[in-house]
């Protein structure tokens, strides 16, 4: 089958689905390798970008989906969806961040990290479809674990959790408070620069005094 025809069929499948389509299903449909499929879809993505189309193909872990461009959201939303725009509280965002960096985490573990109850935030994230149950833990009592969904990836513009920003290095001080290593290093550098500047000033003043005495 010609590549042009494959592109046409892929576009039709993604449009008709309206949701994510597994890479494996597309590979089986055309009986092509993963590398070949990825190459074709990448070309389609580049074509959409060059033509400044209002749609784009996004990758979500091992799936693809045809979506409207993020840049056009403010024009689409008022017409398509009349509901109040979903919003997340600071507590919900903190809970979501913890889950995204710790897939298959329990509610008790989330609460241990945040230091407060996470029940309400967790239910809100489940309601929005940003997190989902990830099966029972091996811990005593077999508590439920949670992980982020592809809806989370779409909302924040990621293709995979591997694209999440790297967390800063940290350690606990004598008071069991978190100290960010990067900030610590930055403060040490500033302190060193200040000390050096003061030494240079003292040296300059000493030299000047000697010159005046002479």
Residues 104-138 have pLDDT tens digits of 899 999 998 888 888 889 988 998 889 999 999 88
Q: How confident is the model at residue 212 (pLDDT cuts 50, 70, 90)?
A: low
For 122-128, the CB contacts below 8 A with 24+ separation are 122/95, 122/146, 124/88, 124/89, 124/92, 125/88, 125/92, 125/95, 125/96, 125/99, 128/86, 128/88
CATH topology of domain 90-163: Arc Repressor Mutant, subunit A (1.10.10)
What class does CATH assign to 3-73? mainly alpha
DSSP state for residue 130 in the 8-state scheme = S
Q: Is the pLDDT of residue 177 over 50?
A: no
pLDDT: which is higher, 139 or 202: 139
Q: How far is CA 173 from CA 34, 180, 181, 182, 190, in A?
A: 49, 10, 11, 14, 20
pLDDT: which is higher, 212 or 151: 151
Q: Is the pLDDT of residue 173 over 60?
A: no
Contacts of 40 (CB under 8 A, 6+ apart): 3, 6, 7, 10, 32
Q: What is the mean pLDDT of residues 36-63?
A: 91
**Domains 3-73 and 90-163 agree in fold:** yes
- What is the pLDDT at residue 141? 86
- What is the pLDDT at residue 169? 61
Q: How confident is the model at residue 13 (pLDDT cuts 50, 70, 90)?
A: very high
Q: How confident is the model at residue 194 (pLDDT cuts 50, 70, 90)?
A: low
CA–CA dist 99, 27 (Å, integer): 31
Which residue spans within 74-166 are E strands per DSSP?
105-106, 131-136, 144-148
Q: Is the pLDDT of residue 204 over 80?
A: no
- What is the pLDDT at residue 139? 86
Distance of CA 186 to the CA centre of its chain: 26
Phi first, then psi, for residue 7 (nearest 5°) are: -60, -45
- What is the pLDDT at residue 198? 53
Q: What percent of the chain has pLDDT over 90?
A: 32
CA–CA dist 72, 159 (Å, integer): 19
Q: Where are the domains of the chain?
A: 3-73, 90-163, 179-213
Residue that the structure tokens 């299903």 belong to: 25
pLDDT: which is higher, 147 or 84: 147
Q: What is the mean pLDDT of the chain?
A: 80
Which residue spans within the chain are E strands per DSSP?
21-22, 55-60, 63-68, 105-106, 131-136, 144-148, 170-172, 178-180
């Amino acid at each position: 089958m010609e590549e042009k025809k494959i592109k046409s069929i892929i576009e039709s499948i993604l449009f008709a689905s309206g949701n994510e389509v597994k890479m494996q299903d597309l590979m089986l449909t055309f009986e092509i390798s993963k590398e070949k499929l990825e190459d074709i879809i990448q070309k389609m993505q580049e074509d959409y970008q060059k033509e400044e189309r209002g749609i784009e193909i996004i990758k979500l872990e091992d799936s693809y989906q045809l979506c409207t461009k993020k840049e056009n959201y403010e024009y689409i939303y008022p017409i398509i969806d009349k509901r109040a725009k979903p919003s997340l509280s600071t507590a919900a965002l903190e809970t979501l961040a913890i889950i995204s960096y710790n897939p298959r985490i329990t509610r008790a573990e989330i609460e241990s990290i945040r230091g407060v109850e996470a029940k309400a935030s967790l239910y809100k994230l489940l309601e929005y479809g940003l997190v989902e149950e990830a099966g029972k833990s091996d811990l005593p009592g077999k508590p439920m674990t949670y992980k982020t969904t592809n809806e989370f990836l779409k909302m924040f513009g990621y293709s995979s959790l591997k694209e999440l920003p790297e967390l800063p290095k940290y350690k606990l001080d004598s008071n069991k408070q978190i100290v960010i290593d990067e900030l610590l290093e930055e403060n040490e550098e500033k302190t060193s620069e200040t000390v050096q500047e003061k030494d240079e000033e003292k040296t300059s003043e000493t030299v000047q005094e000697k010159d005046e005495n002479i």
